[in-house]
Amino acid sequence: MSTITQGYLDDPVFSLVSRVAEQEGVRAFVIGGYVRDCFLGTPSKDIDIVVEGSGIALAEAVAEHIRQVEKHSCHVSVFKNFGTAMLRYHGTEVEFVGARKESYHRDSRKPIVEDGTLEEDQLRRDFTINAMAFSLQREDFGALVDPFGGIRDLAAGIIRTPLDPEVTYSDDPLRMLRAIRFATRLTTPSRTFTIVPESLEAMRKMKDRMSILSKERIVEELNKILLTPHPSMGFRLLDETGLLEYILPDLVRLKGVETVEGRGHKDNFSHTLQVVDHVAEDELRQIDAGTLHNYAPVEGSDGFVEVQRTEPYVWLRWAALLHDIGKPASKRYDPVQGWTFHGHNVLGARMVPKIFQSLKMPLNEKMKYVQKLVELHHRPVSLVDDEVTDSAVRRLLFDAGNEIDDLMLLCNADITSKNPVKVARLKRNFELVREKLAEVEAKDAIRNMKNPITGDYVMKVYGIPPCDKIGVLKEYVKNAILDGRIGNNFEEADRLMRAYAPTLGLQEVASE
């Protein structure tokens, strides 16, 4: 029989599941994201199978068939609590779940689950475009089962819940974030996805239900929104529905333009979202071109190796999102200069740990990375206004260290102005900074610079115990290297140290 889904179920796993389900006397369907993505022309490798019966039992039976008939090993991972089971077949991941009917308690997003039919199962799914199924029954293999018009909504670019949106969102408020995530992710330059107005209205009403979600789940969705090619759309939706106020109130504080004596400033919320989009675009472009790098530590040494980045880095996107977060607190009006935001980078960097903590995000080196980028985000472009000296570039490289590529990307993305002549001039000068960075790094290897003079060495040469003179001496040598007065090597550093030490009252001890 020919169906509209012909070609979508060519993977041998589908006929295998079909045969085994028939033997077991149960009906099985492909459901959810796989079906949606087939119609979007981007079939995924993640397959969800829903069974009218036990998902775990069907997975075990399929695995047994693979072992007995195909003589392959096959491991089934069973998640008893969820009633699901997962197996891998020729590199394809297949998850099995029994069709279920759900009802909810008010204070939890964990439903009371009972066995149900396919249609009852489809009804509990989040959106019509995620509730479509392909039949795996021999008699209508490949037939689309779409009781809520998912295919129509997909063609029209509409996100809609099968049930009353207020009930859907109240039952499980995570779905509000999922709606925004799907709208953002599925929208491309040639196709816009919109959330239907009654659904947006329901989100506004139900936003307080977010309180039953764990911060971890919220952040998981936020990260997925941030990793889309144009995250700004998601953040605008989060803002319009009032969800952003709950999740990241500091970001909402960036909104608005104040005017004094006829002088306004730019809306920092819109600017921030523009920068996040620029970062995403540039990062993807550089990943495609193979020009973006991470630096990974080399085991057993102080060194780092350059690793080409092949995936977007969510922490870079967080840095873009938070780069101006210190602006509201640092905003001043000066009758001569107009609006100023002096020190907003330092203030912003100080806010980063608090924001991470409020969302239960890691307070480890990822947070420090974001903090560093927020603090330094102005440095490369401020060089542009001055004459770009080697010394300034060396200091930038030293302070940014391994984060220099990402800092440059963020800083470049931050050049937004309504004046195209100004943008063009800044970008041109910015390229000069970039060239100079490469030159200085190649010559002086500053990025991972370690002071050639160590504390132990100073103590030995001058026979002194730990004291603050050691720090003074080391700092003097480091600055001389960064200023380019001496090269980044031990011989020159040692010579300078010995020349300067007597001014601190230090005498060399006679070497034996």
Tokens of 64: 């047994």
From the list ligand ATP, Mg ion, none, partner contacted by residue 171 (C-beta under 5 to 8 A by kind): none
From the list Mg ion, ligand ATP, none, partner contacted by residue 174 (C-beta under 5 to 8 A by kind): ligand ATP
- 448: alpha, beta or left, given left = phi > 0 and alpha = psi -120 to 50? alpha
Stretch of 27-35, 170-178, 301-309, 434-442 lying at the interface with Mg ion (CB under 5 A)? 27-35
Of 49 and 461, nearer to ligand ATP (C-beta) is 49
Of 106 and 450, nearer to ligand ATP (C-beta) is 106
Stretch of 124-132, 293-301, 370-378, 413-421 lying at the interface with ligand ATP (CB under 6 A)? 124-132
Residue from 60, 121, 126, 277 touching ligand ATP (CB under 6 A): that is 126
Cβ-contact 383, 392 below 8 angstroms: yes
Residue with the two structure tokens 């911060």: 215
Give the shortest CB-48-to-Mg ion separation in angstroms: 7
Question: What is the spatial distance between Cα 131 and Cα 178, in angstroms, rounded to a whole number?
Answer: 14
Which residues sit opposite 29 in a β-bridge? Answer: 50, 135
Residue 483's closest CA among 454, 448, 440, 450? 440
Binding residues for ligand ATP restricted to 174-193, rule: CB under 6 A? 174-175
Of 154 and 347, nearer to ligand ATP (C-beta) is 154
Stretch of 15-23, 25-33, 335-343, 438-446 lying at the interface with Mg ion (CB under 5 A)? 25-33
Decide: is 121 part of the binding site for ligand ATP (CB under 6 A): no
Decide: is 32 part of the binding site for ligand ATP (CB under 6 A): yes
Question: What is the spatial distance between Cα 222 and Cα 232, in angstroms, rounded to a whole number?
Answer: 12
Residue 231 CB: number of other CB atoms within 10 A?
23
Residue with the two structure tokens 């200023």: 483
Helix/strand/coil (H/E/C) assignment for every residue in 394-434: HHHHHHHHHHHHHHHHHHHHCCCCCCHHHHHHHHHHHHHHH
From the list Mg ion, ligand ATP, none, partner contacted by residue 125 (C-beta under 5 to 8 A by kind): ligand ATP
| Residue number closest to ligand ATP, CB atom | 33
Residue from 146, 172, 277, 283 touching ligand ATP (CB under 6 A): that is 172
Pairing of the two strands 46-52 and 92-98: parallel
Stretch of 58-66, 71-79, 171-179, 261-269 lying at the interface with ligand ATP (CB under 6 A)? 171-179
Decide: is 125 part of the binding site for ligand ATP (CB under 6 A): yes
Give the shortest CB-122-to-ligand ATP separation in angstroms: 8
Of 126 and 406, nearer to ligand ATP (C-beta) is 126
Of 185 and 278, nearer to Mg ion (C-beta) is 185
What sign does the CA torsion over 323, 325, 330, 331 have? Answer: positive
Residue from 5, 128, 130, 371 touching ligand ATP (CB under 6 A): that is 130
Residue 283's closest CA among 356, 231, 353, 344? 231
| Residue number closest to Mg ion, CB atom | 33
Of 142 and 150, nearer to ligand ATP (C-beta) is 150
Phi, psi of 158 (to 5 degrees): -125, 135
Tokens of 83: 């009633």
Binding residues for Mg ion restricted to 36-95, rule: CB under 5 A? 46
Residue 336 CB: number of other CB atoms within 10 A?
4
Stretch of 126-134, 288-296, 362-370, 439-447 lying at the interface with ligand ATP (CB under 6 A)? 126-134
Give the shortest CB-129-to-ligand ATP separation in angstroms: 8
Residues 6+ apart with CB under 8 A from 182: 127, 129, 130, 159, 193
Question: What is the spatial distance between Cα 61 and Cα 202, in angstroms, rounded to a whole number?
Answer: 43
Give the shortest CB-262-to-ligand ATP separation in angstroms: 48
Pairing of the two strands 84-89 and 194-195: unpaired
Q: Which helix (H) or strand (E) holds 194?
A: strand 194-195
CA distances from 260 to 253, 263, 337, 339, 437 (A): 19, 5, 12, 9, 40
Question: What is the spatial distance between Cα 207 and Cα 251, in angstroms, rounded to a whole number?
Answer: 17
From the list ligand ATP, Mg ion, none, partner contacted by residue 375 (C-beta under 5 to 8 A by kind): none
From the list ligand ATP, Mg ion, none, partner contacted by residue 162 (C-beta under 5 to 8 A by kind): none
Decide: is 33 part of the binding site for Mg ion (CB under 5 A): yes
Residue from 33, 312, 353, 484 touching ligand ATP (CB under 6 A): that is 33
Question: What is the spatial distance between Cα 58 and Cα 266, in angstroms, rounded to a whole number?
Answer: 59
Give the shortest CB-146-to-ligand ATP separation in angstroms: 12
Of 224 and 271, nearer to Mg ion (C-beta) is 224
Stretch of 149-157, 169-177, 364-372, 472-480 lying at the interface with ligand ATP (CB under 6 A)? 169-177
Decide: is 43 part of the binding site for ligand ATP (CB under 6 A): no
Chain contacts with ligand ATP (rule: CB under 6 A) = 32-33, 44, 46, 48, 125-126, 130-131, 172, 174-175
